[in-house]
Structure 1
């Protein structure tokens, strides 16, 4: 099993080396000690989110892109794991941008037809790619939150 800190370190080192930059250069730009950055790259230290963000800024890499790359590498390193289905995001995919570049006489001219097409595309996309269960879910059953109240958090297995 690959540890997250090991894969993060390997990926950060790969970005630094592809840019032909030294540990000293990146540690200075990230305002992190050279020794600590070296330990992070070797997977010996668990970097905080603030530290990762600082290193990513120094490497001109988006933190989200780094985490996505690490996630993919960890999936590829575990051949016996069950496949993870993509998570559908609200507003992403079918129907977004409808009407842009549409042809006259196309269903986009008729809002009811466009809505029906979007519903069909969304239903077929949902049938083809089931949504993964969230690892973290807000609990509350759709009840409106009280003013100043923090939502309860449930960790799913």
Structure 2
């Protein structure tokens, strides 16, 4: 199974929420009081944001932290269902006597 990194999934969710809201990186970085470069790295999954920073970013996006985490959880679950074979497909077939 392909490795799932939470920082990638969180970053993708944050980027999607930001774009959906019509806000720029500059808008969110200013409201969240985080550097534009760091926010960009978080969105690209290159930096792992602290809970305080995630809270600030969500506040700047007018989204509850719990909603962002729920969306991220759904993203992870979708990724897992695409990259994981069903258990029965991996089990060896029993010999017929």
Work out whether the TM-score is over 0.5: yes
What runs of 5+ residues in structure 2 fail to find an aligned partner?
A: 87-97
Mark the structure with the bigger radius of gyration: 1
Of Structure 1 and Structure 2, which has the larger fraction of its residues in helix?
2
- How do residues 113-124 of structure 1 correspond to structure 2 at under 5 angstroms? none
Matching residue within 50, 53, 68 for 1:51: 53
Of Structure 1 and Structure 2, which has the larger fraction of its residues in strand?
1
Matching residue within 23, 32, 54 for 2:34: 32
- How do residues 105-116 of structure 1 correspond to structure 2 at under 5 angstroms? none
Query: Structure 2-normalised TM-score?
Result: 0.80
How many residues end up aligned between the 2 structures? 82
What are the superposed Cα offsets for residues 26-53 of structure 1, whole Å, 9 maximum, x if unpaired?
Answer: 0000000000000000000000000000
Q: Alignment partner of 1:78: what SS? A: helix
Root-mean-square deviation (CA), in Å? 1.3
Query: Structure 1-normalised TM-score?
Result: 0.50
Q: How far is the alpha carbon of 1:81 from its aligned partner?
A: 7.5
- Which portions of structure 1, spanning 4 or more consecutive aligned residues, are displaced by more than 3 angstroms? none
What runs of 5+ residues in structure 1 fail to find an aligned partner?
A: 83-157
Q: Answer 1 or 2: higher relative contact order, Cα 8 Å, separation at least 6.
A: 2
Q: How far is the alpha carbon of 1:14 from its aligned partner?
A: 0.3
